[in-house]
Amino acid sequence: MSRRRIELIVDPIACDGHGVCAELLPEAIWMDPWGFPVIETADIPAHLIGHARRAAESCPRLALTLVERNT
Partner 1 sequence: MSPVAGRGREVRTSQPHNALGPVGAPRLLAGLDSAITTVGLDQHLERWGRLPALGSASILDELDRSGLRGHGGAWFPVGTKWRSVKRSVTKRPVIVANGAEGEPASGKDRLLLDGLPHLVLDGATVAASALGASRVIVHVPAARIPAIRSAVEERRRFGLDSVDTEIVEAPDRFLAGQESAAVNTINNRNPGRPSFTGTRTVREWGVGARPTLVQNVETLAHVALIARFGSDWFRRVGTPESPGTALLTVTGLWPQPRIIEAPLGLPLQQVLGLSTEDAGIFQGLLLGGYGGGWVPMAEAMVMPLTEEAAREHGSSIGPGVVALLPSQVCSLSEVSRVVSYLESQAAGQCGPCVNGLAGLDHSMETLAFHPSSLRGGTSRILAHCDLIEGRGACRHPDGVTRFVRSALRVFSDHVASHLHRGPCRSRIGPCLPIPTVRRTVRQGRETK
* One of 23, 32, 40, 57 touching partner 1 (CB under 8 A): 32
* Residue 25 contacts residue 48 (beta carbons within 8 Å): yes
Stretch that binds partner 1, among 20-28, 30-38, 43-51, 53-61 (CB under 8 A): 30-38
Task: Give the shortest CB-61-to-partner 1 separation in angstroms.
Answer: 11
Question: Is 49 near partner 1 (CB under 8 A)?
Answer: no
Those residues whose C-beta lies under 8 Å from the C-beta of residue 8, and which sit 6 or more positions away, are 25, 28, 29, 39, 41, 42, 44, 52, 55, 56, 64, 65, 66
6 makes contact with partner 1 (CB under 8 A): no
